[in-house]
């Protein structure tokens, strides 16, 4: 086949990107293109296309970082060619990953941070899989050692993020997702007894429930498991899914006991790319002590002529995310993270107060005591002439993206809005949003005769 040399093509930049042959037709969509093309024209046209995406800085639905400091970007850019799995070629990146693990063990009150065991991952999803696998392997070994059947493992949790459903299905573990009690925002201790048994590999406690932003009471869940052990002999470990809360609680709720201070907590995961403030692509899992990671799950790779243990689902991954995370730990320190997260919490609480004062809404979580976010419902959906889906669509007209969804079982009939406040959602931006929200509520309330678009099925417009 013929390959055109781009250097011989006339530069479409000088002719104008939009008058080049590429610019005067639809971009290739289905067939692998044959000719090469001018980089500036391709860049500009793809740039224009991805601008059709939502504006990430107005995305109030995501936990993930949407803004990075220029110097974090610079380090990411400089690491573009580095594969973090090549420990021998890039020993400093490997060293920096281990430093981050030790710092996290320290942050989460591990018993011996200098010898902490853990690793970076692509995000919390992979980290949760690793935490879950370690629990499954330990449970199976114990069962086999006791001569008991080890073929029907289960895992007990509240309203978990989808990654735990994946873990359960991919790795053949029964997911015992305990339904929400009326008024509850997550798993409650009194629910454990009915679901935990000899086949339970562990309980997942969530520090920052995806659906409500609230924390599950890790210490109280552990105390209940202590009581269950005293009665039945079952010793059930806890993995804390601290995807968001792992980078909030240590800084702004330091007295909340949820981490390795709770003896039953064997492992913790967190998303570096959520409140860890790193750019997208990094998560972490840390074990209380190295013995908790079964040897069979560990593979050894060459490292400075020696051997380095690795435990991961991926092989190749960019090293830049890890380096950017280390930059943020050093750059912000505990003090910088505390200031950042506290100002997010203050903004969230302000949003909560203002939205509650608008009238039609009831807060499920008011932005105080857990994640910097709020969740709310319509107080009286039956007599409100719009749904939260309609309100989301209305706000989208101004570019705001807000998640509207039903709560998990047994509260599926409750539709909620969740708003997350991240570093880049400033007080001022929140104020601009509130102005738009008040306008949207007024318009939707007044538009009784003209049905507003609804994605939520039939809406009653009667008065």
Ligand X SMILES: *Cc1c(COP(=O)(O)O)cnc(C)c1O
User: What's the min distance (Å) between Cβ of 161 and ligand X?
Assistant: 3
Stretch that binds ligand X, among 178-186, 202-210, 305-313, 320-328 (CB under 6 A): 202-210
Cα 260 to Cα 83, 106, 407, distances in angstroms: 31, 10, 30
Cis peptide before 410 (omega within 30 of 0): yes
Cα separation of 454 and 309, whole Å? 53
User: What's the min distance (Å) between Cβ of 297 and ligand X?
Assistant: 20
344 contacts ligand X (rule: CB under 6 A): no
CB closer to ligand X out of 244 and 392: 244
Stretch that binds ligand X, among 68-76, 112-120, 203-211, 331-339 (CB under 6 A): 203-211
244 contacts ligand X (rule: CB under 6 A): yes
Cα separation of 330 and 137, whole Å? 35
User: What's the min distance (Å) between Cβ of 291 and ligand X?
Assistant: 25
Stretch that binds ligand X, among 44-52, 70-78, 236-244, 427-435 (CB under 6 A): 236-244
Site string for ligand X, 95-134 (x = CB under 6 A): ----------------------------xxx--x------
User: What's the min distance (Å) between Cβ of 340 and ligand X?
Assistant: 18
User: What's the min distance (Å) between Cβ of 378 and ligand X?
Assistant: 24
Q: Who contacts 463 (Cβ-Cβ below 8 Å, separation ≥6)?
A: 385, 448
Cα separation of 371 and 393, whole Å? 25
271 contacts ligand X (rule: CB under 6 A): yes
Cα separation of 229 and 223, whole Å? 10
- CB nearest ligand X: which residue? 123
214 contacts ligand X (rule: CB under 6 A): no
CB closer to ligand X out of 242 and 391: 242
CB closer to ligand X out of 129 and 228: 129
- Judged by CB under 6 A, the chain residues 283 through 342 that form the site for ligand X are 283
246 contacts ligand X (rule: CB under 6 A): no
Most distant pair of Cα atoms in the chain: their distance: 80
User: What's the min distance (Å) between Cβ of 271 and ligand X?
Assistant: 4
Q: Which residues pair with 175 in a beta bridge?
A: 155
Site string for ligand X, 138-177 (x = CB under 6 A): -----------------------x-x--------------
Stretch that binds ligand X, among 77-85, 239-247, 326-334, 381-389 (CB under 6 A): 239-247
Residues within the interface to ligand X (CB under 6 A): 63, 123-125, 128, 161, 163, 206, 208, 210, 241, 243-244, 271, 283
């Amino acid at each position: 086949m013929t390959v055109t040399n781009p250097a011989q093509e006339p530069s479409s930049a000088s002719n104008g990107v939009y008058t080049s042959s590429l610019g005067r037709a639809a971009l290739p969509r289905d067939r692998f293109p044959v000719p090469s093309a001018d980089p500036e024209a391709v860049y500009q046209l793809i740039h224009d296309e991805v601008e059709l995406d939502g504006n990430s800085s107005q995305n109030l639905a995501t936990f993930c970082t949407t803004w990075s400091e220029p110097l974090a970007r610079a380090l990411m850019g400089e690491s573009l060619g580095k594969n973090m799995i090549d420990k021998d070629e890039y020993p400093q990146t490997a060293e920096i990953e281990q430093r981050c693990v030790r710092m996290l063990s320290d942050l989460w009150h591990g018993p011996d941070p200098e010898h902490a065991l853990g690793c970076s991952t692509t995000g919390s999803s992979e980290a949760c899989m690793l935490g879950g696998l370690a629990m499954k392997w330990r449970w199976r070994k114990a069962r086999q050692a006791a001569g008991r059947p080890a073929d029907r493992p289960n895992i007990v949790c509240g309203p978990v993020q989808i990654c735990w459903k994946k873990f359960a299905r991919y790795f053949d573990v029964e997911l015992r997702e305990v339904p929400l009690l009326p008024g509850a925002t997550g798993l409650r201790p009194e629910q454990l007894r009915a679901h935990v048994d000899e086949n339970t590999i562990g309980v997942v406690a969530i520090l920052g429930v995806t659906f409500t932003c609230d924390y599950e009471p890790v210490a109280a869940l552990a105390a209940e498991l202590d009581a269950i052990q005293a009665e039945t002999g079952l010793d059930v470990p806890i993995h804390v899914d601290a995807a968001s809360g792992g980078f909030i609680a240590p800084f702004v709720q330091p007295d909340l006991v949820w981490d390795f201070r709770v003896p039953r907590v064997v492992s913790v995961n967190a998303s570096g790319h959520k409140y860890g403030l790193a750019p997208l692509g990094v998560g972490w899992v840390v074990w209380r002590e190295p013995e908790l990671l079964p040897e069979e799950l560990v593979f050894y790779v060459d490292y400075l002529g020696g051997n380095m243990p690795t435990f991961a689902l991926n092989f190749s991954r960019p090293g830049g995310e890890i380096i950017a995370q280390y930059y943020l730990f050093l750059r912000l320190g505990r003090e910088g993270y505390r200031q950042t997260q506290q100002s997010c919490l203050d903004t969230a609480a302000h949003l909560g107060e203002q939205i509650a004062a608008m009238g039609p809404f009831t807060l499920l979580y008011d932005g105080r005591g857990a994640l910097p976010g709020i969740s709310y419902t319509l107080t009286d959906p039956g007599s409100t002439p719009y749904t939260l889906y309609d309100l989301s669509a209305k706000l989208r007209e101004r570019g705001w993206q807000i998640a509207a969804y039903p709560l998990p079982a047994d509260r599926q009939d409750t539709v909620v809005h969740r708003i997350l406040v991240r570093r880049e959602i400033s007080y001022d931006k929140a104020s601009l949003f509130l102005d738009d929200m008040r306008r949207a509520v007024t318009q939707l309330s007044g538009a009784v005769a003209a049905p507003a678009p609804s994605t939520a099925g039939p809406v009653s417009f009667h008065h």
